Structure 1
Amino acid sequence: MNLIKRYFSGYKRPGGINDLLVLAFPMMVSTASDGVMTFTDRLFLARLGPDQMNAALGGGLTFQMLTFFFIGLSGYSTALVAQYYGAGKLTKAPKVTFQAILVVLLAWPFINALNPLVNHIFLNANLPVNQVGHQIDYLRILSLGGIFSLLRHVLGCYFTGIGKTRIVMTSTIVAMVFNVVLDYGLIFGKLGLPALGVKGAAYATITGSAAAVLMLLVPYFSHRNKVVFAVMQSFRFDGRIMKKLLHFGYPAGLEFLLNFVAMFIMTLMFQSRGTAAATATTIMFNWDLVSFIPLLGVEIAVTSLVGRYMGAKRPQAAHRAALSAIKVGLLYSVVVLVLFVFIPETLVRVFHPATPSQAFEEAVPMAKTMIRIASIYVLAQAFMVAMIGTLRGAGDTFYTMMLSVAANWSFLPLVYVTLFLMNLSVTWAWLAIVLVYMLFGFAIFRRFKTEKWKTIKVI
């Protein structure tokens, strides 16, 4: 009983668990809804066959790679909005958001211009022949409709920064409903819609994002937002705010980009080992994504909360918010650990194709082992997201970039040596990645303990 009391001590204090959960719970639901959208795409496509499911993973990761520099850069608007909000400079919050909108509007044509280069890489990456065409189609459609995903992200950052995470949650649930219903209709040709397979999954994703943007624009242009935050006076370039956004946001953007380039290369290496290995890897990454995405909600919430308290010059409350994020993350991660350890085969067979597949059956034992290996680091993830969210919220973005990029790029030689020089299976390569990941968790904790982040001036 005393242990439980200590765990929840300071529950209602500024930065305590209650303070965090007000922001974190809606964001956990929101990010979980995002996870459901991705999961549903791959689950439904798995019914068509392993090649379609693997194409959604490869194409989806590539789209993220192309967009995530701009997602990371514009995403720092969460912390910047939160700092202005905490400092009482309310009219500056929507000005930050408009600068972020300018960034993503310029990014959209650039993202589409890179598609031919990426397609060339697909065609020369030794991927299964039946997968490549689907992967190119999936990426092309996501890129053309990518502006909705980018705008949805920026508007969500604004509401997260001012603490209105329920608005973000509602918009994401709407996006999820659109996506799941249209996935069913457009992938399989149900509900009077054409059967488009992989293309249908991409169109469903775009439509869901567009619906979320509309849901976010309504409260953004509400009477209260116009009066309290002067949103209608924010639609102009602001050099000082743009400079802050670029200065503190570019490390996060560069981190996201470099990490996803590493992830992209690593996925290609895994998938080049054949259809069974590609299928096992896709299934494992699907469940890894599902387990991690709610923790991403905790990270976003603690970034906002730390930014708010640092803007209000209350570093101890910001420190308490970081500890609360660890506690909330650990409670969730224990549940994931139990599922990964005790029912991995049940999780794997969720992705069984509609018709018997030898490749799928060969993938099952590999995927089971990889999911069990993932259980090793799920608790470490809770620490990592809390520490990284805290450092970003305080403005310590350069260090988090350096450490995160070093971790992800160190995985590539590990995978190459394990798969191609030692000729071991994908399960051994995955084990090597997980063990090295744990070391970087310790490094980020050391940075947090120095408390240098408490001295950074952002606004």
Structure 2
Amino acid sequence: MSEISGGRHDLAQPADLAPRPGAADDLPVPTNLAQAAIEVLRVAVPLMISAGMMSVVLFADRTLLMFYDGASMSASMAGGNLFWVVVCVPIGAAAMTGAVIGQLIGNGEPEKVGRLLWQSIWLSLMTVPFFVAAFLGAESLFRLTGQPEELIAAEATYMRWLMLGGLGLVIESALSGFFSGTERTSVIMWVSVASGLLNVVLDVVLIFGWGGLPALGIAGAAIGSVIAFWFKVVCYSWLLSRPGLESRYRMRGGFGLDLPMLRNFLYYSLPSGLMYLTEAGAFTIIILRIGQLGDVPLRATTMAINFNMVAFIPLVGIAIAASVLVGRHLLQNGPAFAVRTSLASLLIALFYSGVWAIAYLVAGDWMLSLYGLGTPDEDSRQAILLAGGLLGFVASYVLVDAVQLILSAALKGAGDTWFVLAAGAATSALSIAAGIAFDPGRSSLTWWWWVITIWIWALAIAMTTRFLGGRWKSMRMV
């Protein structure tokens, strides 16, 4: 597919397109694994902090809801997961913006970055009708899944409010792709930190009704998130409107609908979004099956997933860095450099995940004691005891999860997005089918955690096999 690039260009750029100091193509090329690791960390650390801020926000969100009302915490888990199922396809597609921009930079075509970014925004705007439909049908969706009647109203409330921020979440994912693709990741970090702090403050004020405002509970938590989503859009839009970016990237000059570029971008980005859907859909089915067991198992699962999330979400920052750098090096320096970047990213991710695996095994009870602060009700105390066993599952797969995440990101950075989708869909479908077929009974919480663990191992095996096969080395998205 060559519509984005429109053919190879001479790498000598006109004066107004000459690389600025600090631009990605001014940086030294890593010639060994240590230098590759330094390069990955340069790009990844701000993204890890950014993603880590998201995990802090989600953790605070659910923990504050538990202090407000334990049932609200359970409802936020199910409601948030279904919200993610609705928005994950456009978000996954928008998230490919950075990887494609990385290849444009590597191919010596920075003047096409603005036009590509606009195509990502147009795709984002096309999602509005789907979000409206999900808003209107929220309660029916939860009722169809067989959720406990006492949780449905809270789950639907949480999801409906979040849907008001769904478009903002997709647009900010597209806009942040410019900063990841051009390796200006510190911008993403600062915007995320500001947005995250705003979200936590709004959670405290709106959930509990501080400052004379009424206590909104689970609705307040969702409203805080929505405001934070749109706050990011405003920040990125302002930063991208700066005149200094126009001469090199044609931010304003790229305005408009470019159908060949849009089709090419959709070809590579849609599988990424659908991969998000298969994973989110499978995970949501598992959560809903656990929800059918009652509030206590769902609450325990939410507690364990919260701590899993603290370890996993920062890994997304390393994955984004791997995707962008693999894409750039593949075109700019060749497959050997892309392989070196992938291995460096993987080693960093394994070290980070290994620290958390040890923490879950050694200090899991201490972590869960956070939920015992204050005066938890009897259901919460039972959930804390159950969650202690579930953290053992998390420790057993957290390293493997890092492998599948980083290698799938490397494959997507090269353009092997359709394989990532096929492997993800197959492993998700097989895991859920086996889980349902061999479920030993309705009281089998640990069974569904075994399903999660086996599913993640299967993903890691598929991505490792594909990566070692090497077909991705000859792929291009521009």
The verdict on a shared fold, with TM-score over 0.5 as the criterion, is yes
Q: Deviations over 1:373-411 (max 9, x none)?
A: 110111112221221111000000011111112222223
Q: Match for residue 418 of structure 2?
A: 398
Q: Deviations over 1:390-444 (max 9, x none)?
A: 100000001111111222222323432454x445531232024313421331221
> Is 2:427 the counterpart of 1:407?
yes
Q: Distance in 2 between matches of 1:9 and 1:128?
A: 57
Q: Match for residue 119 of structure 1?
A: 139
Q: Distance in 2 between matches of 1:243 and 1:127?
A: 39
Q: Match for residue 177 of structure 1?
A: 197
Gaps of at least 5 residues in structure 2 are 1-29
CA contact (8 A) 1:46 1:352 kept: no
Q: Match for residue 376 of structure 1?
A: 396
> Is 2:77 the counterpart of 1:57?
yes
Q: Match for residue 99 of structure 2?
A: 79
Q: Distance in 1 between matches of 2:360 and 2:428?
A: 23
Q: Kindly tell me: are residues 280 and 365 of structure 1, through their superposed partners in 2, closer, same or farther at Cα, counting changes over 3 Å? A: same
> Is 2:460 the counterpart of 1:441?
yes
Give, in angstroms, the shift of residue 127 of structure 1.
2.4
Q: Match for residue 16 of structure 2?
A: none
Bigger shift: residues 169-178 or 218-227: 218-227
Give the secondary-structure state (helix, strand or coil) at the position aligned to 2:44.
helix
Residue type at the aligned position of 2:380: F
Q: Deviations over 1:321-359 (max 9, x none)?
A: 100001110111111011111122222232347543121
Q: Distance in 1 between matches of 2:399 and 2:463?
A: 15
Q: Distance in 2 between matches of 1:431 and 1:327?
A: 26
Bigger shift: residues 408-417 or 175-184: 408-417
Bigger shift: residues 211-220 or 101-110: 211-220
CA contact (8 A) 1:73 1:249 kept: yes
Q: 2:240 aligns with which of 212, 216, 220?
A: 220
Give the secondary-structure state (helix, strand or coil) at the position aligned to 1:233.
coil
Give the secondary-structure state (helix, strand or coil) at the position aligned to 1:351.
helix
Q: What is the root-mean-square deviation of aligned Cα atoms in Å?
A: 1.8
Q: Match for residue 4 of structure 1?
A: none
Q: Deviations over 1:273-320 (max 9, x none)?
A: 011111111111212222110111111110010111123252211111
Give, in angstroms, the shift of residue 56 of structure 1.
1.0
Give the secondary-structure state (helix, strand or coil) at the position aligned to 2:66.
helix
CA contact (8 A) 2:124 2:171 kept: yes
Q: 2:317 aligns with which of 297, 320, 345?
A: 297
> Is 2:360 the counterpart of 1:350?
no
Q: 2:32 aligns with which of 3, 6, 10?
A: 10
Give the secondary-structure state (helix, strand or coil) at the position aligned to 2:396.
coil
Q: Distance in 2 between matches of 1:45 and 1:353?
A: 13
Q: Match for residue 361 of structure 1?
A: 381
CA contact (8 A) 1:366 1:427 kept: no
Q: Kindly tell me: are residues 432 and 123 of structure 1, through their superposed partners in 2, closer, same or farther at Cα, counting changes over 3 Å? A: closer
Give the secondary-structure state (helix, strand or coil) at the position aligned to 2:216.
coil
Give, in angstroms, the shift of residue 194 of structure 1.
2.6
What is the 5 A alignment of 1:139-288? 139-288=159-308
Q: Distance in 1 between matches of 2:294 and 2:90?
A: 33
> Is 2:444 the counterpart of 1:416?
no
CA contact (8 A) 1:79 1:307 kept: yes
Q: Match for residue 429 of structure 1?
A: 448
CA contact (8 A) 2:293 2:443 kept: no
Q: Match for residue 455 of structure 1?
A: 474
Residue type at the aligned position of 2:388: K
Q: Distance in 1 between matches of 2:137 and 2:209?
A: 32
Q: Distance in 2 between matches of 1:12 and 1:261?
A: 38
Bigger shift: residues 189-198 or 317-326: 189-198
Q: Kindly tell me: are residues 238 and 313 of structure 1, through their superposed partners in 2, closer, same or farther at Cα, counting changes over 3 Å? A: farther
Give, in angstroms, the shift of residue 371 of structure 1.
0.7
Tell me the TM-score normalized by structure 2: 0.90
Identical columns (%)? 27
Q: Match for residue 27 of structure 2?
A: none
Residue type at the aligned position of 2:151: Q
Q: Deviations over 1:164-220 (max 9, x none)?
A: 111111110111010000101100111343311111101111111222222212221
CA contact (8 A) 2:113 2:250 kept: no
Q: 2:60 aligns with which of 29, 37, 40?
A: 40
Q: Distance in 2 between matches of 1:120 and 1:93?
A: 42
Give, in angstroms, the shift of residue 9 of structure 1.
9.5
CA contact (8 A) 2:91 2:169 kept: no
Bigger shift: residues 286-295 or 121-130: 121-130
CA contact (8 A) 1:269 1:416 kept: no
> Is 2:344 the counterpart of 1:312?
no
CA contact (8 A) 1:48 1:354 kept: no
Q: Distance in 1 between matches of 2:268 and 2:31?
A: 33
Residue type at the aligned position of 2:409: G
Gaps of at least 5 residues in structure 1 are 1-7
Give, in angstroms, the shift of residue 63 of structure 1.
1.1
Q: Match for residue 5 of structure 1?
A: none
Q: Distance in 1 between matches of 2:92 and 2:251?
A: 23
CA contact (8 A) 2:204 2:210 kept: yes
Report the number of matched residues: 449
CA contact (8 A) 1:148 1:209 kept: yes
CA contact (8 A) 1:73 1:252 kept: yes
Residue type at the aligned position of 1:378: V
Q: Match for residue 23 of structure 1?
A: 43
Q: Distance in 1 between matches of 2:297 and 2:79?
A: 17
CA contact (8 A) 1:171 1:213 kept: no
Give the secondary-structure state (helix, strand or coil) at the position aligned to 2:127.
helix
> Is 2:109 the counterpart of 1:109?
no
CA contact (8 A) 2:88 2:277 kept: yes
